[in-house]
Homo-oligomer: A and B are copies of this chain.
Amino acid sequence: MKILYIFAHPEPRSFNSAMKEAALRTLDEQGHEVKLSDLFAMDFKPVLDRRDFLQPKRTDVFNPFMEQMHASKKGTFSKDIMDEMEKVTWVDILIFQFPIYFTGFPAMIKGWIDRVFAAGFAFNPATGSMYEAGLLRGKKAMLVMTAGADEALYSKGGAHGDINELLRYITHCTLGYTGLEVLPSYIVFGAGKMSEERVRSEISSYIERLRSLAQYAQKN
């Protein structure tokens, strides 16, 4: 399968980076074709603004939605966005890996979504192209996350609540909205302080999960 691995952690010696390295190795061994978007390493621009549009429809007033619709038709997004869109078009599965900040994406990943999942490219409310009819239908996505919090905090009855319910704004309203079929999330809880032994065992478990990605993707 063709996989785009979208990664956001600023530290190459972090546990997140170790997971990413193990993932790239494993997916390659399994015969998948993998492209990597390592957003901090790329110094990816995280904010949607005028500079995203090389030939704006209007120069007097900036309307992000209208400019996205226009640039999607004309192919006139800035190069960094066009490059990411090309990867998304190519892909079977998108894997997003990041540390959970405040029960969601770090700003870096949110910016990638805001800019790359543009109106007219990933969805189009004007033509009803959303959810089952979303423009990315036929592709799949998976969230891979680390949380400092323990699992109990993110369980039904825990102080935060059920993580899968809380993340519905991502799995359903964001990824699902574009037509992506969302695979079950992979979450490492209590990732703030881990013994070396636990690090090793968490990496092993993640490798196991990735080895069965093809079956997983077929089943779901």
Contact = CB atoms under 8 A, between A and B. Distances in A.
Interface of A: 10-11, 13-14, 40, 46-50, 60-65, 99, 101-108, 110-111, 113-114, 117, 125, 130-131, 148-149, 159-161, 166-170, 172-174, 177, 192
Given A102-B174, A168-B166, A48 B107 contact: yes
Contacts of A40: 49
A112 to B, nearest CB: 8
Contacts of A159: 130-131
A105 B110 contact: yes
Given A46-B111, A161-B168, 6 more contacts: A10-B49, A10-B50, A104-B110, A107-B107, A107-B110, A166-B173
Contact of A167 (B111, B149, B169): B169
Q: How many chain copies?
A: 2
Contacts of A172: 160-161
A121 B167 CA distance: 25
Contacts of A160: 172-173, 177
